[in-house]
C-alpha cells in the first residue's frame, strides 16, 4: 500500500510540475482573451443551463440557442452522445463572436453507461484500485460520449441512513472516505486533463451535506468547527489534494450561511487554506434557493454567491440576469465577475478545449468504449466484491445447485432496480437479472420461482415514486394469494432464497425515509415463509443500511447486495453458489432501531460510559447501545483467525515509526480474501477523542489452511488531531492500537508517544 501511495505522490508531483510549467502560457492566453470580452460575455461564461436531448439531438431550453450564439452560456449539462454534443459545440465555436467552447457536464456517479454498484456498495469492497478502475472506465465512456466534466465523486460523510443520498457516498468514516475520494479523482482525471479520455472531476457537495438534520434531504446542518475539520472536511480536502478540477457547493447552510453564499467556506477554507485553484459550480438552482433561505432578492443573492466564491450558476440564470446591472450601478466590483470568468476559462484551457473543442468525440470511439467487454467484466467483478455476507447460520451458504431451491420475491427477476439511483445514462434494460444469470449458469436445475409480494404495496409511496421512473406495478393477484403461492413453493423446497429490499428510487436524492425497515408487505412474506420451518436466505437490494432486527433473529442467512449494477445478477449467483467467496465489509453502521440514529463506530466516550447493571450510564431502556452490524463488518464462507498483536517497540518519538504485526490464518474450508483493519485510540488528550479511528487496512487473500503475517506502520502523523487551540498536532501520551476483522472484533495493544 505504501508503494501505491508513493507512486500516486510522484504522479501528483509530476502533474503539479506540469501545471506550474503551463501556468504562464495559460495566464497569457486567458488574459488576452478576456481583454476582448464584453461584460455580457464574461457573465455568460458563468451561466450553466440544463439542456436535455432525445434520440434526434438536443432539445434546447427556451432561448438557449440564442444565448449560445451571443456567448451567454459557459457550459451545459444533461447533454451527451457525439451527435448532440457536436451540435451544441458547433454553435459555440462557429456562431459566437469569440468562439469559446462549452463545458459538457453530467452526473456520472457510478458509471456512465456501464453501471457499477452504487458508491456505498463499491466502498464495501475496500478495494481502492478497483474503485479507481471503475472511475477510469466511466471516464472512458463519458468522454467518448461527448462529456468533459462529471459531477462526481460525492465525498459527503454520512452517519444517518435515513438520508437517501448515503447511496452515493462512501459511508461514515473520514479516513476511508478520503482514500476513496483520491482514488476516484485519479480515475476520472488521470495525469493529464487534456487527454481525450480524461474528464474533470467535480467534488460534491461542499460541504457537510451528509450531516443534514433528521436525515432529511436539503435540510439545515449545524455542527462545531472541530467536528467539521476532524470528521467531515478531510475527504473534500483529499480530493482537492489529488488534483480535482472543480467543486460543487452544497444546498445546506453552515454556521447560518448557505454554502453557495458562504465566503468563509468557498474562499477562506477552500481557496486560501487549501490552495484550491479550480472552478466552483453551484448545485441545481442553489442561487435561486438562497431567497428561500431568506438572504434577499435575486440581485442580492446573486451578489452574495459571486462574492463568496461561486463561479458558475447552475440553471437559475441569476448571474446572467442580475450581475450586469449590479456592476453598472456600482453595487458590485467587476473584479468578482472577472475572477469567476477566469476560473471557468482556465477549466476549459486545462481540458484542452481551446485546442480541440471536440476532444476526439466520435461515433466510432463511442461504439468502441461504451459497454466494452472489458468494462462489463469489470462491472461483474465490482458487483461481486461489493456484496456483504451479514449472517450465515450453520453455513447454509453457499448453495448447491442440486438442492431444491425456491427463489421468491419481487426482485428475483427484476432488472429495473439493479442499477440503483443516480444511474444517469445507464439503461436498466441492459442489466442482467438474477434469474437470467441463474438459469443460464444452471439450465438443469431443481429451482422454482414465486413472486411472493409486490415490491411496494403502499399506494401513496408508489404515487410518489412512479412519476420519476420507478416503474412499480402491482400484481393482479392479492397480497394473500402471492404469499400463499410462495409458501407452497417453499414447502416443496429444501431452502427458500428471498429477494427483497427497496425500489431504486427509495434511495438517492429526495429519498429520505423515516422508517428504514423492509416494507410491511415484504415483512409479512418473510414471516409466512419462516412459519414453514424451512431454512430462509434473505438477499437484500437497497441503497442504505436497514433495520433488520427481526430478520437477523429469525432467518438463516442474510446477504447484502446493495444495487450492484449491470451485472448484479451474475455476481449474486456467483456468491450464492460459492463461485465467489464474499469479501465485502460495511462502511456504514446498520442500526438495530431507527431510534439509535445517528450511530457510528468512531463515537466518543462519555463521562458515564455504558456499564452493565448501572442505570445512570449512557444507554437506552429498550435496545442495546451496540449496532446490529458494526462498521467494517462482513462475513466470509471461511473463517479468519487473528493472532495477538506484536509491536516492535513500546514507545516512539515524533520522528520515529512503530510497526504492528499480526498473523492471519484461514482456518476454514474455502479460499478467501480478508480485509484487516487498523484502528487507533488516543487514551489521554487535551480534547475528547473517539473510542476508535480507522487509520489503515490491508486486503489479504488466503488459501484454506494458509497463514500470512502482515504489518502496519504508524507514525506521529497518524496520531494527529485538532487540539484545544484547533492546531493540528499530536500530543505525547498513551495510545491503544487495534487490528481486527471489523471495528468491534479486534485484538488490542498499547504504545506511548514520547515528547
10, 15, 19, 21 alpha-carbon torsion, rounded to 10°: 60
CA dihedral sign of residues 67, 73, 79, 81: positive
Residue 439 gets the label, from left (phi > 0), alpha (psi -120 to 50) or beta, of alpha
Report whether pLDDT(16) > 70: no
487-514 burial string, b = 16+ CB within 10 Å, else e? bebbeebebbbbbbbbbbbbbbbebbbe
* Per-residue model confidence (pLDDT) at position 54: 47
- 114 touches 142 (CB < 8 A): no
d(CA 78, CA 284): 12
Report whether pLDDT(12) > 70: no
Place of cell 445447485: 401
Enumerate residues 6+ apart whose C-beta is below 8 A from 463: none
* Per-residue model confidence (pLDDT) at position 55: 40
Please count the other Cβ atoms lying within 10 Å of the Cβ belonging to residue 157. Answer: 27
Report whether pLDDT(56) > 50: no
Report whether pLDDT(60) > 70: no
Average the pLDDT over each of 17-21, 352-356, 681-685 and give the range with the smallest value.
17-21
d(CA 12, CA 653): 29
d(CA 694, CA 677): 7
Q: Cα angle at 72 between 261 and 359, to 5 degrees?
A: 100
Q: Which whole number is the average pLDDT over 462-483? A: 95
Q: Identify the H or E element spanning 736.
A: strand 733-740
- 721 touches 685 (CB < 8 A): yes
Q: Which whole number is the average pLDDT over 544-554? A: 98
Q: Which whole number is the average pLDDT over 94-110? A: 97
DSSP letter for 69, please. Answer: H
- 327 touches 339 (CB < 8 A): no
Any bridge partners for residue 652, and if so which? 753
pLDDT tier at 39, thresholds 50, 70, 90: very high
Residue 60 gets the label, from left (phi > 0), alpha (psi -120 to 50) or beta, of beta
Helices of type H across 315-405: 318-328, 334-350, 363-369, 373-386
pLDDT tier at 5, thresholds 50, 70, 90: very low
- Classified as helix, coil or strand, 729 is strand
* Per-residue model confidence (pLDDT) at position 65: 85
* Per-residue model confidence (pLDDT) at position 11: 54
pLDDT tier at 699, thresholds 50, 70, 90: very high
d(CA 604, CA 607): 10
pLDDT digits (tens, 9 = 90+) for 592-614: 999 999 999 999 999 999 998 89
Any bridge partners for residue 676, and if so which? 698
Report whether pLDDT(629) > 60: yes
Q: How far apart are the first and last CA of the chain?
A: 29
pLDDT digits (tens, 9 = 90+) for 257-311: 999 999 999 999 999 999 999 999 999 999 999 999 999 999 999 999 999 999 9
- 195 touches 137 (CB < 8 A): no
| Closest to 144 in 3D by CA, of 346, 425, 420, 427 | 425
* Per-residue model confidence (pLDDT) at position 465: 96
At 281, give phi and psi (nearest 5°). -110, 145
Any bridge partners for residue 77, and if so which? 50, 105
pLDDT digits (tens, 9 = 90+) for 200-223: 999 999 999 999 999 999 999 999
Residue 385 gets the label, from left (phi > 0), alpha (psi -120 to 50) or beta, of alpha
- 676 touches 700 (CB < 8 A): yes
d(CA 548, CA 553): 8
- 196 touches 139 (CB < 8 A): no
Burial class (CB in 10 A: 0-12, 13-18, 19+), 472: buried
Report whether pLDDT(182) > 60: yes
Report whether pLDDT(474) > 60: yes
pLDDT tier at 63, thresholds 50, 70, 90: confident
Enumerate residues 6+ apart whose C-beta is below 8 A from 268: none
- 586 touches 158 (CB < 8 A): no
At 453, give phi and psi (nearest 5°). -170, 155
User: What percent of the chain has pLDDT above 70?
Assistant: 96
Radius of gyration of the CA atoms of the chain, in A: 27
* Per-residue model confidence (pLDDT) at position 53: 63
Residue 78 gets the label, from left (phi > 0), alpha (psi -120 to 50) or beta, of left
Q: Which whole number is the average pLDDT over 314-339? A: 98
pLDDT digits (tens, 9 = 90+) for 70-97: 999 999 999 999 999 999 999 999 999 9
d(CA 432, CA 417): 11
**Edge-to-edge strand list for the sheet holding 746-753:** 651-652, 746-753, 733-740, 672-682, 693-702
Do β-strands 200-206 and 149-150 pair in parallel, antiparallel, or remain unpaired? parallel
DSSP letter for 281, please. Answer: E
Q: Which whole number is the average pLDDT over 544-564? A: 98
Q: Give one DSSP letter per residue of 689-720, joined into a string.
A: -BS-EEEEEEEEEE-TT-EEEEEEEEEGGGG-
Q: Which whole number is the average pLDDT over 118-137? A: 98
Q: Which whole number is the average pLDDT over 654-682? A: 98
d(CA 390, CA 558): 5
Which one is predicted more confidently, 6 or 596?
Answer: 596
Mean pLDDT of the chain: 95
Catalytic residue annotation: 283
* Per-residue model confidence (pLDDT) at position 20: 62
Amino acid at each position: 500500500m505504501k508503494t501505491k501511495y508513493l507512486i500516486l505522490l510522484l504522479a501528483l508531483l509530476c502533474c503539479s510540475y506540469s501545471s506550474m510549467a503551463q501556468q504562464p502560457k495559460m495566464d497569457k492566453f486567458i488574459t488576452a482573451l478576456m481583454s476582448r470580452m464584453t461584460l455580457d460575455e464574461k457573465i455568460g461564461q458563468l451561466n450553466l443551463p440544463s439542456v436535455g436531448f432525445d434520440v434526434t439531438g438536443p432539445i434546447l431550453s427556451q432561448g438557449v440557442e440564442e444565448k449560445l450564439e451571443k456567448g451567454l452560456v459557459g457550459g451545459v449539462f444533461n447533454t451527451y452522445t457525439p451527435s448532440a454534443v457536436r451540435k451544441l459545440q458547433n454553435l459555440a465555436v462557429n456562431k459566437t463572436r469569440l468562439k469559446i467552447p462549452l463545458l459538457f457536464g453530467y452526473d456520472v456517479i457510478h458509471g456512465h453507461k456501464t453501471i457499477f454498484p452504487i458508491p456505498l456498495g463499491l466502498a464495501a469492497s475496500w478495494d481502492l484500485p478497483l474503485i479507481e478502475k471503475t472511475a477510469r472506465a466511466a471516464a472512458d465512456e463519458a468522454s467518448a460520449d461527448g462529456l468533459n466534466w462529471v459531477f462526481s465523486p460525492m465525498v459527503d460523510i454520512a452517519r444517518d441512513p435515513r438520508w437517501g443520498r448515503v447511496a452515493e457516498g462512501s459511508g461514515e468514516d473520514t479516513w476511508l472516505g478520503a482514500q476513496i475520494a483520491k482514488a476516484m479523482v485519479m480515475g476520472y482525471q488521470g495525469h493529464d486533463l487534456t487527454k481525450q479520455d480524461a474528464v474533470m472531476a467535480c467534488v460534491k457537495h461542499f460541504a457537510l451535506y451528509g450531516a443534514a438534520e433528521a436525515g432529511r434531504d436539503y435540510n439545515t446542518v449545524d455542527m462545531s468547527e472541530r467536528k467539521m475539520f476532524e470528521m467531515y472536511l478531510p475527504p473534500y480536502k483529499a480530493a482537492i489534494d489529488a488534483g480535482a478540477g472543480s467543486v460543487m457547493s452544497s444546498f445546506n447552510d453552515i454556521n447560518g450561511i448557505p454554502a453557495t453564499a458562504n465566503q468563509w467556506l468557498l474562499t477562506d477554507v477552500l481557496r486560501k487554506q487549501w490552495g484550491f485553484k479550480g472552478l466552483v459550480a453551484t448545485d441545481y438552482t442553489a442561487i435561486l434557493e438562497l431567497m428561500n433561505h431568506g438572504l434577499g432578492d435575486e440581485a442580492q443573492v446573486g451578489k452574495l454567491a459571486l462574492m463568496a466564491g461561486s463561479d458558475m450558476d447552475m440553471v437559475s440564470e441569476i448571474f446572467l440576469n442580475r450581475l450586469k446591472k449590479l456592476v453598472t450601478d456600482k453595487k458590485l466590483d467587476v473584479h468578482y465577475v472577472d475572477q469567476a470568468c477566469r476560473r471557468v476559462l482556465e477549466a476549459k484551457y486545462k481540458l484542452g478545449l481551446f485546442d480541440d473543442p471536440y476532444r476526439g468525440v466520435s461515433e466510432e470511439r463511442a461504439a468502441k468504449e461504451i459497454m466494452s467487454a472489458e468494462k462489463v467484466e469489470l462491472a461483474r467483478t465490482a458487483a461481486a466484491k461489493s456484496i456483504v455476507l451479514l449472517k450465515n447460520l450453520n453455513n447454509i451458504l453457499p448453495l448447491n445447485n442440486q438442492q431444491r431451491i425456491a427463489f421468491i420475491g419481487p426482485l428475483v427477476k427484476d432488472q429495473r432496480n439493479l442499477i440503483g439511483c443516480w444511474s444517469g445514462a445507464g439503461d436498466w434494460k441492459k442489466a442482467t437479472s438474477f434469474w437470467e444469470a441463474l438459469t443460464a449458469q444452471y439450465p438443469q436445475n431443481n429451482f422454482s420461482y414465486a413472486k411472493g409480494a409486490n415490491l411496494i404495496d403502499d399506494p401513496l409511496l408508489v404515487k410518489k415514486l412512479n412519476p420519476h421512473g420507478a416503474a412499480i406495478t402491482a400484481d393482479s393477484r392479492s397480497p394473500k394469494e402471492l404469499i400463499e403461492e410462495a409458501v407452497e413453493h417453499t414447502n416443496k423446497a429444501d431452502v427458500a432464497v428471498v429477494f427483497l429490499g427497496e425500489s431504486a428510487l427509495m434511495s438517492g436524492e429526495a429519498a429520505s425515509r423515516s422508517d428504514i425497515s423492509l416494507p410491511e408487505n415484504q415483512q409479512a412474506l418473510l414471516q409466512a415463509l419462516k412459519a414453514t420451518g424451512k431454512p430462509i436466505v434473505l438477499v437484500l437490494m437497497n441503497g442504505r443500511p436497514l433495520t433488520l432486527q427481526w430478520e437477523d433473529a429469525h432467518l438463516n442467512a442474510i446477504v447484502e447486495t446493495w444495487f450492484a449494477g449491470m451485472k448484479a445478477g451474475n455476481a449474486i449467483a456467483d456468491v450464492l453458489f460459492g463461485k465467489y467467496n464474499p469479501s465485502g465489509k460495511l462502511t456504514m453502521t446498520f442500526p438495530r432501531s431507527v431510534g439509535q440514529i445517528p450511530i457510528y463506530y468512531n463515537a466518543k466516550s462519555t463521562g458515564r460510559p455504558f456499564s452493565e447493571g448501572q442505570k445512570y450510564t449512557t444507554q437506552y431502556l429498550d435496545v442495546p447501545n451496540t449496532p446490529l452490524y458494526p462498521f467494517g463488518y462482513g462475513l466470509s464462507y471461511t473463517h479468519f483467525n487473528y493472532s495477538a498483536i506484536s509491536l516492535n517497540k513500546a514507545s516512539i518519538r515524533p520522528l520515529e515509526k512503530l510497526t504492528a504485526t499480526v498473523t492471519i490464518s484461514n482456518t476454514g474450508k474455502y479460499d478467501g480474501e480478508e480485509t484487516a483493519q487498523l484502528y487507533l485510540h488516543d487514551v489521554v488528550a487535551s480534547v475528547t477523542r473517539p473510542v476508535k479511528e480507522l487509520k489503515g487496512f490491508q486486503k489479504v487473500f488466503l488459501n484454506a489452511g494458509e497463514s500470512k503475517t502482515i504489518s502496519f506502520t504508524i507514525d506521529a502523523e497518524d496520531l494527529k488531531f485538532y487540539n484545544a487551540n484547533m492546531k493540528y498536532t499530536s500530543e505525547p501520551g498513551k495510545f491503544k492500537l487495534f487490528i481486527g476483522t471489523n471495528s468491534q472484533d479486534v485484538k488490542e495493544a498499547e504504545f506511548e508517544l514520547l515528547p
